[in-house]
Structure 1
Amino acid sequence: MSTGELTMHASRTARWARPLAALVIAAALLATPYYFAPFRVFQLTMVLLYAVVLAGLNLLVGYGGQISLGHGAFFAVGAYTAAVMLDRFTIGHLATLPVAAAGCFLLGLGFGVPALRLRGLYLALVTLAFAVFLPPLLKRFEHVTGGSMGLTVPKPQPPSWTGLAEDQWLYFLTLTVAAVTLLVVRNLLRSRVGRALLAIRENESAAEVMGVRLSFHKALAFAWSAMFAGVAGCLYTWVIGFVSPDSFSINLSITLLAGLVVGGLASVYGPLLGAAFVMYVPNLAQDISPAAPGVVFGLLIIVVMYLAPTGLAGLAARARQGVRRCVEHLRDTRRRPEPASPVEQTGPPQPEPQPLTAPPTIGKG
């Protein structure tokens, strides 16, 4: 095969590899609830749910360069918004989703004001304070939030024409919202807003010189991130059917941030990998050591970060680059001409040179 044919074949393969992989993943996600037990379907639904909140957190931390330890609070606001609406009013579940998203967007926009003057650890401390005082605040308004007892609300039931069970219906609802969320985040990062956030993360002074409005984009990053956390909280109410202040402690915010770092900051697949880590690793730690699951969970985080400093997504990217380099090396080896044989290098055998002899001497006389 010639070099041109190899190049055309490689470009054709690269062009079709990504759409084919996306098609296979989509088919696997759609077929999943039909081949797993209800509990496994519930776990996968929670993974998709956490992927939504981590996608918003990645927008703020991974691409915006701002640290937040209070996203569990935005998650709780979205969950309680949906729960109170379902408990107090006779409305459908789908009507709670835009209300939770809009409410958390406005809350994040207002909360983004401290981000205009704070950064780094100081900003993290402010967001941490928000996550600390929200659960006691929810307990104070018992007539609305149910206090320490929480609220129990009905789960969305599948339409009869679908023929789906409750867990399957919840899975497909969460999958749809997660797919839309990831698509919105992807398009947002490719827009002017995403480029401005990257510029702010790299160098605020240089970004301001280039005409980027720091205050506007910082507040907007908080608003978008809080909105996705509120959407995930609304899904949490649908899936669990129960909310209480103890479900949204400070541990939730820390676990979400740890899951994002483990999954991979500023990565498209980081939220998905981090969501799987948040869902399955605590259960694994509980199985290993029921007496001290927190210790096992912390050790697992240390091990993962030691083996993959850039997160699981970075580890997968390095593996993919290694495979690509191997393929390119094999391709170059095929293109390289074979070494010439010894006969071709030296040519036909030459006759051995004859030794020089002195001319015959002619005697006198």
Structure 2
Amino acid sequence: MTAVSRSETPAAAAPARPATPEPISPVRRLTAARWHWLLVAVVVGIACYAPFELAPFRTFQLAMAMIYAIALLGLNLVVGHTGQISLGHGAFFALGAYTAAVLMDRWDTPYPATLPIAAAVTFVIGFALGIPVLRLRGLYLALVTLAIAIFTVPLLKRFDDITGGSMGLTLPKPKPPAWTGLAEDQWLYFLALATTLICFLLVAGVLRSRVGRAVHAIRDNEIAAEVLGVRLAHYKTLAFAWSATLAGVAGCVYTWVIAYVSPDSFAVTLSITLLAGLVVGGLGTQWGPVLGGLFVMYVPNFAQDINQAAPSVIFGLLIIAVMYLAPNGLAGLAGRAARRLGRPILRKGNTNAH
């Protein structure tokens, strides 16, 4: 047979040359983390400026939205990051609120001291309940946590010597220090803002640690996580306790802002509303609790303005509409919009780089 010369070898058989890497544009060098922290800085700056321009009632509403965001941040630990279902978060919210109220009313405790006490009480109770409760899964866990929310209101009414019974407790609002020059509503707003920022930073640090990787592994696949050495009961119980702690912190700040607590304010509908707010905001996302807190605060009022006869119907329809338009929550919708807007910028940056 005639030998085929090297020059006659088909072009397809020749080794392909490595492609020349495209130069990285300055836009791509700005990582997602830098954009995230830039957005955080902008939001915090607007939040610090807002109470000086808004009316007192609007300032109060924003403070309440941040309180709900703290509670949803804790609920997100259990539902969004650990993959469990909890319908009893309102009970821990009530426990933190009443802990602060009783301390201030019965023992004249300074209001700043009530925050760590409320956090400690809810952590201990959440840890104690988490040991047996989180051995359950799915609907069984949801049913047990729902039962916690159901018996909370009658329990608060039962000990009327301490909790004030059905009448509740009326408290004095924290007064701003003279050196701040702030009005009462502004001072309460900044207390809520400072507490919210601290809680979000703490949770962000936990989720980036080994503990965060463990709870994410549990959420993704419990069997695989256990094979890799993750102690399921330990991390589930810790997540439940931390979730209860954040709900207690939110309840404590709620007591400062509202200056009144009653059992009917913490009915089982609060737990369901918090879960709905988290799902609407975005499960397992960083901005989901913030958007969910705004949703829980403003949408029921908006539904009341639309139809005072059946606000719950309007509220439910709005939840359905949001879930239809944004199945992954408002945070997921915002993320998709940001990525679509970023594509033309990246293309333009690559063109300029060439």
Go from structure 1 to structure 2 and tell me whether the alpha carbon gap of 1:20 and 1:266 turns closer, same or farther (over 3 Å shift). closer
Match of 1:223 in 2: 241
- After superposition, residues 92-111 of structure 1 pair within 5 angstroms as 92-111=110-129
Higher-Rg structure is 1
Of 19, 36, 59, the match for 1:41: 59
Match of 1:7 in 2: 24
Please say if 1:291 is aligned against 2:299: no
1:70–1:128 Cα contact (<8 Å) kept? yes
Aligned residue for 1:113, secondary structure, equals helix
Match of 1:210 in 2: 228
1:56–1:226 Cα contact (<8 Å) kept? yes
C-alpha root-mean-square deviation of aligned residues, in Å?
Answer: 1.8
- Note the residue ranges of structure 1 that are not aligned, 5 or more in a row: 337-365
The percent of aligned pairs where both chains have the same amino acid is: 62
- After superposition, residues 249-288 of structure 1 pair within 5 angstroms as 249-288=267-306
Match of 1:142 in 2: 160
Distance in 2 separating the partners of 1:121 and 1:148: 32
TM-score of the two chains, using structure 2 as the length reference: 0.91
2:27–2:346 Cα contact (<8 Å) kept? no
Q: Residue 280 of structure 1 aligns to which amino acid in structure 2? A: Y
Shift of residue 91 of structure 1? 1.9
1:105–1:224 Cα contact (<8 Å) kept? yes
Q: Residue 189 of structure 2 aligns to which amino acid in structure 1? A: Y
Shift of residue 115 of structure 1? 3.3
Go from structure 1 to structure 2 and tell me whether the alpha carbon gap of 1:297 and 1:158 turns closer, same or farther (over 3 Å shift). same
Distance in 1 separating the partners of 2:216 and 2:147: 27
Go from structure 1 to structure 2 and tell me whether the alpha carbon gap of 1:230 and 1:156 turns closer, same or farther (over 3 Å shift). same
Distance in 2 separating the partners of 1:129 and 1:289: 31
Q: Residue 131 of structure 2 aligns to which amino acid in structure 1? A: V
Please say if 1:314 is aligned against 2:326: no
Of 85, 91, 107, the match for 2:103: 85
Please say if 1:183 is aligned against 2:201: yes
Distance in 2 separating the partners of 1:91 and 1:98: 12
Q: Residue 300 of structure 1 aligns to which amino acid in structure 2? A: L
Distance in 2 separating the partners of 1:13 and 1:97: 38
1:115–1:218 Cα contact (<8 Å) kept? no
Go from structure 1 to structure 2 and tell me whether the alpha carbon gap of 1:4 and 1:97 turns closer, same or farther (over 3 Å shift). same
2:281–2:331 Cα contact (<8 Å) kept? yes
Aligned residue for 2:24, secondary structure, equals helix
Moved more, 29-38 or 322-331: 322-331
2:25–2:349 Cα contact (<8 Å) kept? no
CA-to-aligned-CA distance 1:242-261 (integer Å, 9 cap, x gap):
00000000000000000000
Of 240, 245, 252, the match for 2:263: 245
1:114–1:123 Cα contact (<8 Å) kept? no
Aligned residue for 2:173, secondary structure, equals coil
Aligned residue for 1:195, secondary structure, equals helix
Match of 1:350 in 2: none
Go from structure 1 to structure 2 and tell me whether the alpha carbon gap of 1:91 and 1:335 turns closer, same or farther (over 3 Å shift). closer
Compare relative contact order (CA 8 Å, sep 6+) and give the higher one, 1 or 2.
2
- Note the residue ranges of structure 2 that are not aligned, 5 or more in a row: 1-19
Distance in 1 separating the partners of 2:34 and 2:264: 48
CA-to-aligned-CA distance 1:156-206 (integer Å, 9 cap, x gap):
100111110000000000100000000011001011111110111111111
Aligned residue for 1:62, secondary structure, equals helix
